[in-house]
Structure formats: structure tokens, C-alpha cells
Amino acid sequence: MVDDLMLERRGVMLVLSSPSGAGKTTIARELLSRDDKISMSVSTTTRPKRPGEVSGVDYHFVDKTEFNIKRNQQEFLESAKVFDNYYGTPAEPVMAALAEGMDILFDIDWQGTQQLAEKAPDDVVSVFILPPSHSELERRLNRRAQDTPEEVARRMSKAASELSHYAEYDYIIINNLLGESVMRVMSILTAERLKRRRAVGMSNFVKRLCEDG
Ligand code: 5GP
């Protein structure tokens, strides 16, 4: 990543996690539309495609056999079973984006976050999004209406165990007002981009500052 002053820096791997219905996907979409230096990691999943979802944009949809082959060939940076389906982060596009100087946004669960943080402890910044209340979480899960009522109920019951992982994250955002939450994620990203340890070109820059002419 090269900023306005052409200073080289390490890319940020920004992870957003939350129970379903906390508004994470909307926050991610907003962030991507406002910041052209961060791109989304598109996961591979065995979950059936929902109406409106696009292959290669929302997910790479594969069957279990294909998923296992990819996992065995070490094609994933991390992978996990979530709600009976398998999900994995393809490694190659992430490496390519980081090499091009982009920051990467991940919408993955706590299991994947743990694996990523182990692999790239200096690069991963993790944010957990909480819904403002139990009733609001329930309302958002129902409003989505893309899943069957059984699926909604199941996700609701899973929310508690997902929520218990909040303490493993670097930052917590309670998603009450969308605009405010997006601003908070952007503030985190801005601050993380400015961390000294990411500024790999800094010593040369400072050296030049001290040189004549
Ligand atoms: P959904 O099926 O509703 O799109 O996602 C269900 C859950 O799987 C969400 O919590 C989402 O963050 C998580 N998820 C999506 N992609 C990945 C991935 O590549 N790895 C992991 N570990 N979790 C993922």
C-alpha cells in the first residue's frame, strides 16, 4: 500500500464478525463503497445460494466434494463449519490484493478469525459487531426473510454462542445507527493504517527528511 506521500505500508486484514442479523453485511457494503483502498474477500461455501446472491460476488458456491478438494490442497487461508455448511477464505486472491497494496475486508465467523489471527497476527484487525438488543436482533433476522422460519429460529438460538466470542476481538461496535457504525469502522481502519509498524517505508522517509536538499 502506498499512500499520498508514496510511503509504503503493510495492508490491513480487517475482519468483521457478528451473529447473523447484527447488520455486518450492510456495514461492510457501505465501507466498500466509501473506501477504494479496501476490497472484499469473497469466501467459498457449500451453502445453497440465496435469492439475489451472485456467484463470485457474494460467494463462490461449490459442493462438499469440491470444497474438500480445495481444503486438502491448502487453497484456504482459513475454513470452518458454520450452521452445517462449510466456508473458507481463498488464499490466492487475498495474497494478490495485499501485494497490490490493498487492504482486505473479511466477513467471517470467530473460528475463521482465530485461524487468520494465528497466521497473520501483525496484519489482522478484528471487529465484532453487536446488535443493540435481543428484540432488534430478532426483528432483523425476521425482516431478512430469505431464510425459512426454522432457519431463523436456529440462527437465533446460535446467536448466544456466537456472541460469547466478542472478547476475542480487538474492537467492539454496537450497531444501533448504521451511519454511526460505518464511521466507527472507518475510524478503526484509519487508525490501523497509521500504525507505525505498518509503515515499512518510514525509515527511508525519515532519512530523506534529515538529508540536505
Ligand atoms: P451466511 O451463510 O449467512 O452468508 O454466513 C454465515 C456465517 O458464516 C457468517 O457469520 C459469516 O461471517 C460466516 N462466514 C462467511 N464466509 C466465511 C468464511 O470464509 N470463513 C468463515 N470462517 N466464516 C465465514
pLDDT of residue 64: 98
- Residue 193 grid cell: 493504517
- Give the CA radius of gyration of the chain: 19
pTM for the whole structure: 0.91
Tell me if 173 is assigned to some domain: yes
Query: How far apart, in whole angstroms, are the C-alpha atoms of residue 117 and residue 182?
Result: 23
pLDDT of residue 142: 78
Tell me if 164 is assigned to some domain: yes
Report the CATH number that the domain containing residue 35 is assigned in CATH. Answer: 3.40.50.300
Q: How many domains does the chain fold into?
A: 1
Is pLDDT above 80 for 200?
yes
Name the closest-CA residue to atom 21, ligand 1: 108
CA of residue 90 relative to chain centroid, distance: 13
Q: Which atom of ligand 1 is nearest to the CA of 89?
A: 19
Name the closest-CA residue to atom 2, ligand 1: 47
**Which residue range is the domain that position 189 belongs to?**
13-41+101-212
pLDDT top residue among 172 and 20 = 172
pLDDT digit string, tens, across residues 23-82: 899 999 999 999 999 999 999 999 999 999 999 999 999 999 999 999 999 999 999 999
Helices (H), ranges, the chain: 24-34, 64-72, 91-99, 110-119, 134-144, 149-163, 178-193, 202-210
Residue 121 Cα, ligand 1 centroid: separation in angstroms? Answer: 20
Residue 52 Cα, ligand 1 centroid: separation in angstroms? Answer: 17
pLDDT of residue 100: 83
CB atoms within 10 A of CB 67: 22
Contact indicator for 94, 137 with CB cutoff of 8 Å: no
Q: Is 162 in the pocket of ligand 1 (CB under 6 A)?
A: no
User: What angle, rounded to 10 degrees, do the helices at 24-34 and 178-193 form?
Assistant: 60
pLDDT of residue 73: 98
Tell me if 85 is assigned to some domain: no
pLDDT of residue 161: 83
Tell me if 68 is assigned to some domain: no
Name the closest-CA residue to atom 19, ligand 1: 88
Tell me if 135 is assigned to some domain: yes
Query: How far apart, in whole angstroms, are the C-alpha atoms of residue 77 and residue 4?
Result: 30
**By CB neighbour count within 10 A (0-12 exposed, 13-18 middle, 19+ buried), where does 173 fall?**
buried
Name the closest-CA residue to atom 17, ligand 1: 108
pLDDT of residue 141: 75
Contact indicator for 30, 178 with CB cutoff of 8 Å: yes
The secondary element (H helix, E strand) that includes residue 118 is: helix 110-119
Q: Is 19 in the pocket of ligand 1 (CB under 6 A)?
A: no
End-to-end CA distance of the chain: 27
Q: Is 87 in the pocket of ligand 1 (CB under 6 A)?
A: yes
Residue 126 Cα, ligand 1 centroid: separation in angstroms? Answer: 15
pLDDT of residue 156: 79
Tell me if 33 is assigned to some domain: yes
pLDDT of residue 3: 56
Name the closest-CA residue to atom 22, ligand 1: 112
User: Dihedrals φ, ψ of 43, to 5°?
Assistant: -80, 160
Range 112-141 average pLDDT:
92
Tell me if 185 is assigned to some domain: yes
pLDDT digit string, tens, across residues 91-115: 999 999 888 889 999 999 999 999 9
pLDDT of residue 4: 56
pLDDT digit string, tens, across residues 138-193: 887 777 656 778 877 877 788 888 899 999 999 999 999 999 999 999 999 999 99
